Each structure stands twice: as structure tokens, then as C-alpha cells.
Amino acid sequence: MKALTMIFASALGISVQVADEMSVIKFNVTNSCEDCDLRGSKLSGASADFGAGSPIEGASWVGSSKISKNILFIMSDDHTTQGIGVYNSHLSALDPTPTLDKLATEGTIFRLAHSTNAICSPSRAAILTGQYSHVNGVLDLHGNLPSERQYLPQLLKKAGYETAIIGKWHLKSEPGAFDHYEVLRGQGTYFDPELRIQGDKPWPENVEQTVGHSSDIITDRALAWLKNRKSDKPFALFHHFKAPHDMFENAPRYNDYLADIDIPEPNNLWNQAEWGSKGTRGVNDSLRDTIGSSVSHRNKYRNMATDLAELHVKLQKKGDVRNLGIDLKIDLNLSDEDFTRQTYQTFIKRYLRCVKGVDDNIKRMLDYIDDAGIADDTIVIYTSDQGFFLGEHDLIDKRWMYEEALNMPLIVKYPGKNQAPKQSKLIVNNTDFAPTVLGMIGVKTPSEMQGRDFSAVFEGKAPDNWRNSTYYRYWMNMAHHYNPAHFGIRTDKYKLIFFYGQHFVEGGSGKWPEERKQTGMRTPPAWELYDLSKDPHENINEYSNPDYVGVIKQLKVELAQLREIYQDTDEHYPHLQELVQKHWID
């Protein structure tokens, strides 16, 4: 794999060596793909290492853990940083998250936390395994994570914790590495969700029907588990909301929230002349009506108004009037500008009402911890599986490597750590979460994890030899929201993205003919470069600007290094490897 970096570097006229500090990382991934499924490398080595009789059993670094704190790991779904007051977006004046804002004042807010594959299942797998998608096997929404690869709860249990996960799971296999689970069926529903629970029947046949809004129910169940615990072990509770995932169905008590407020629009909802490339717009803008689901009716296949109208019909058929509130149908006879503005207002209010429900339920959790007298003994972590577009670039959903989807909120309250900073601009990603949680309780990062422990931050220190960039890859292609496959690198100043526009399964894949047709679409390969120091909202693609030739060369060298370090060189996907090599120096 080093040869690949050297080839790219040679083509760019740069001499380079793979960084020694990272090149010593070892991962148990086979070089043969005889037994691979369609979602990634065969993982027999990585899976086996955490099984019975593996090196992890009784290892000294597990026995040395310094048990002292409970862990409350709260994660929402698609809660973008723009929807959190303390992240100071154009929406912060609305104060949608007073509880999270208060938590941030009591802990550390991370300004540069990133997803490595901004879609639900892959991000959740990265958090639990400390591995990139191609290593843990969850490349897309069809991926699953069996119990033997649920590393974080395994290691917490071995370190003496009682573990539980309540809420969204979305990884298909039984969450069997947890001592206790009550998880949504698949994506789950906003109202009256079914919970898959432990019982006499095999997974997933033990099902309990609930009544109410999912955010309330998940919190009710989490509180009940805490209150009824019999163990004297410290707890590690993973409290996972469904909200504010689309289609944004809030509890009825929030129907009037923001009703009379005109929500500010992002500036780049409208002005996008220099944004993107032929990889995201098509040659001469020929794919503007196809790539990227939109707020406006730009995308002829999927836009927010169409989605809202379809939800309206669905709810009417069900006779479910709890969430109709505002009529969801947008008048198609409006002018383009008025249509977009009305759609935006409807969409963003629904989204923020769901956010408000999450924030209020987090307050319930934190109030209980205070009232129970365990606040000083409980680490509280808040994050989301990725960010989300709220109309920026006239986009909705996640998946993109642009800031709104790439960035994850991360707020950590670590009681007793008086040296912890109020904010950190360390470049971290979701493969670092598991190593860091383990590091906070004195457990060393196992070699199978690709992420790194940044818990030194809470001691007021910089972690040794920390990275200066993060690697991202979205593996799906044109599925669901019409996003081309791409990968890239983000530093503190620049972002370089290569949109290669082909599925990892040649010709496309999926459960349904329409999905296979979508994922089989090919879009033009293209590069994009954004100077985040001058253009934080990524409005101008600088890739063709001659002033950035040197920057691009260096970023491509670093990108090739990261692909080698993380073993993401498409050895199992020769059609992609050929495509990348062909267009590397475009």
C-alpha cells in the first residue's frame, strides 16, 4: 500500500514517507475477499480478537482500569451543530437547546468533531468499534454489527461496568454485548414505537408495544432502568434518541413552539454560483435537478415539499392527527422563491420542535442524576451520529462531506477535571469516541481500534502526536437522497474532496429494484477544494484556482497517506481503484 502513496506523490512531484507514528497501527483485516459480503472486507481477525479466549480476556490493561465514574452517553439522530445554541449558528438566537447549552458551560465543547461516514448505521458502528466503515463492515444502511464486534460495551463490561442501551440501535444484529437493551425496531417510529427487548424468544422476536412519543418513551425507559438497578457496579448507559431524524414528527405539546417566528435562512440557501463541481452539479449544471435532495423543488426526484406532502397523506390514511399541526402540503403554484421560503419555514420548525423535545428529555435525565446525588460521579457525553443540512446549499439530509453533515456535536462533562478546557479545537472523529471513553476510565486502546484516545484533553493536556487532519468516506452512491460517493480530507484550514460517483458494488446494489437503479447511476468524477479559513460555509470551490496548486499537492499526499494508514485503498473494489488512479491528478 505504501507503493500507492509513492505513485500518487511521484505524479504530484513531491517526495513523501508514510508517518511512522501512525504506520505501526495493526488491523486484522484479510487481504483476500473470498468470503467478503457486499459491505466490506472480511473481518475474521478483528471479530475473533474480542471473542472468548482472545488476548483481551484478562489482559493487564483491562485489569488496570480506574473505576470511579458512571457514564451517560446520550446520542440523538441527525442533530446538527446549527441546531444547538452554544455552537453559535444563525439559529442560536432561537435558543432551541438551553439544557445542552448549560451542559456545555459545565464541561468541554468540541468544535471540530467529525463523522467518518455521515449516515446512521455506519456512524454508530464506528462509535462502537473505533474503526472505519471498511474495517468494521458497516459501509451502508444494510450493514450489521454482530455482538462479537460490539467492542465498546464488551470492554466496559470487562472493566467492571453494568451496560445498557435504550433507544435507537439501527445495526440489525442483536445488541448482545450489552447487559440490558430496549431498542427501536430498525429506524423506529416517532409515535408508539415497538421496542425489541430481552426475553425468552430469540432476537428479534421479543417485542413490546409502547404508547407515546419516542423521545419521551426512550427517556422513560432509561430513567426506569437507572432507578431499578440492583447492581453496585458503575453504569454505562447509552441513551439514544430517534429524533430529530426526518420526517420530524414532534410531540403535540410542541406544535406551537416557534409558530409565530420567522426562522432565519442560511445565506447559501440561495447564492451558490461558485459552489460545487461537475461531480455535484453535473457538466454545465446538467445534474442540478438530480444530485442532492433539496429544500426547493430543484431536485425533481426528492425535495422537502414532496416529502412533507407524502407524510401528510400517510398520516391522514393512518388517522393519526397528533402531528398534522400545520398542513404539510406546500402550494405548488407559488413562485420558486415563495415555494422555497414556505417549505423552509415548515421544515425547519418541525425539525427544531423535535430538537426541543430532545433537549427537554435530556433535562429529565440530568435532573434525575442531580436528585440522586450522583452528578459528581457521572461522566455525561452528548453527541449525534452526524450533522444535518438545514437548507445550506439548498440541501437536506446528511451524507455529504460538507461541514453541516461532517461536523458532529460533542459536549463532555467530566466531573472533577478542573483542568479541562471550556472548548477544544482538536480534530477528532467518531472512531476516537470508544478509545476516549475507555481512556477516561484508565483502559488502554486495543490495537484493533483505528481511533485514538483524546482523554488527555480533560487533564488540560494535548494528546501526544495528534493528527492534523481527518479522513472521510461516504460509500453509498446516489441512494435515497442522490449523493455521489466520495472521500476526502479535512484539516484545520482546508478541505479536499474527491467525488468519484460510483457504487462500491459495480453496477449498484440494494434490496429493491429502484434502489439498485439509483445506486447504479454514475456521476462525473471531480475534485473540490475549500479554504475554510476564508470560506467557512464552503461557497467557493477553489480547486481550479492556480493560487492553491501547492496546497492541493500537499493535501493529496496527506490524503493518500491516510488511505494507506486506514487500509482504505480499494483493493477489494478494483473498478474504484482504477477510477481513483485515473483521476488522481485531474
CATH of the domain at 482: 3.40.720.10
Low-confidence ranges of the chain (pLDDT < 70): 1-67, 320-328
Residue 274 falls within a domain, yes or no?
Answer: no
Residue 301 falls within a domain, yes or no?
Answer: no
Residue 321 falls within a domain, yes or no?
Answer: no
- C-alpha 25/C-alpha 47 separation (Å) is 17
The residue written with cell numbers 435525565 in the block is 365
| pLDDT for the residue numbered 316 | 72
Instruction: Please tell me the pTM assigned to this model.
Output: 0.91
Are the CB atoms for 392 and 538 separated by under 8 Å?
A: no
Q: In what order do the strands lie in the sheet with 194-197?
A: 207-209, 194-197, 180-184, 162-167, 235-240, 70-76, 378-384, 410-413, 108-110, 423-424
Using H for helix, E for strand and C for coil, what is the string for 419-432? CCCCEECCCEEHHH
Residue 495 falls within a domain, yes or no?
Answer: yes
Cell representation of residue 432: 476516537
- C-alpha 241/C-alpha 215 separation (Å) is 6
Are the CB atoms for 80 and 404 separated by under 8 Å?
A: yes
C-beta atoms surrounding 236 within 10 Å: 27
3-state SS, residue 552: helix
| pLDDT for the residue numbered 66 | 57
- C-alpha 515/C-alpha 144 separation (Å) is 19
The set of residues, in sequence order, having a beta carbon less than 8 Å from that of 316 and lying 6+ positions away, is 324
DSSP of 101-160: HHHHHHSEEESSEE-SS-SHHHHHHHHHHSS-HHHHS--STT----GGG-HHHHHHHHTT
Residue 423 falls within a domain, yes or no?
Answer: yes
- C-alpha 559/C-alpha 497 separation (Å) is 10
Cell representation of residue 532: 475554510
- C-alpha 533/C-alpha 551 separation (Å) is 13
Cross-strand pairs, 491: 469
DSSP assignment letter at 546? G
Cell representation of residue 61: 490493561
- C-alpha 216/C-alpha 250 separation (Å) is 11
Residue 260 falls within a domain, yes or no?
Answer: no
Pseudo-torsion of CA 139, 143, 148, 149, nearest 10°? Answer: 20
| pLDDT for the residue numbered 568 | 98
| pLDDT for the residue numbered 67 | 60
| pLDDT for the residue numbered 315 | 74
Residue 7 falls within a domain, yes or no?
Answer: no
Q: Which CA distances in Å does 390 have to 90, 135, 157, 220, 511?
A: 11, 31, 38, 29, 29
- C-alpha 19/C-alpha 562 separation (Å) is 9
Element containing residue 244 per DSSP (H, E): none
| pLDDT for the residue numbered 307 | 86
3-state SS, residue 241: coil
The residue written with cell numbers 446494489 in the block is 509
As for how many domains the chain has, the answer is 1
- C-alpha 84/C-alpha 67 separation (Å) is 32
Are the CB atoms for 255 and 249 separated by under 8 Å?
A: no
The set of residues, in sequence order, having a beta carbon less than 8 Å from that of 103 and lying 6+ positions away, is 362, 366, 380, 382, 411, 413
DSSP of 332-350: TTS-HHHHHHHHHHHHHHH
Element containing residue 397 per DSSP (H, E): strand 396-397
The set of residues, in sequence order, having a beta carbon less than 8 Å from that of 196 and lying 6+ positions away, is 169, 181, 182, 183, 184, 185, 203, 204, 206, 207
DSSP of 351-364: HHHHHHHHHHHHHH
| Positive/negative CA dihedral, 434, 435, 440, 442 | positive
Residue 544 falls within a domain, yes or no?
Answer: yes
The domain of 517 spans: 36-249+348-583
| Amino acid, res. 31 | N
Are the CB atoms for 439 and 463 separated by under 8 Å?
A: no
DSSP assignment letter at 497? E
Name the H helices within 481-573: 513-519, 549-565
- The tally of CA atoms less than 13 A away on the side-chain side of residue 230 is 2
DSSP of 428-478: EEGGGHHHHHHHHTTPPPPTT--S---GGGGGT-PPTT--SEEEEEE---S
Cross-strand pairs, 209: 194
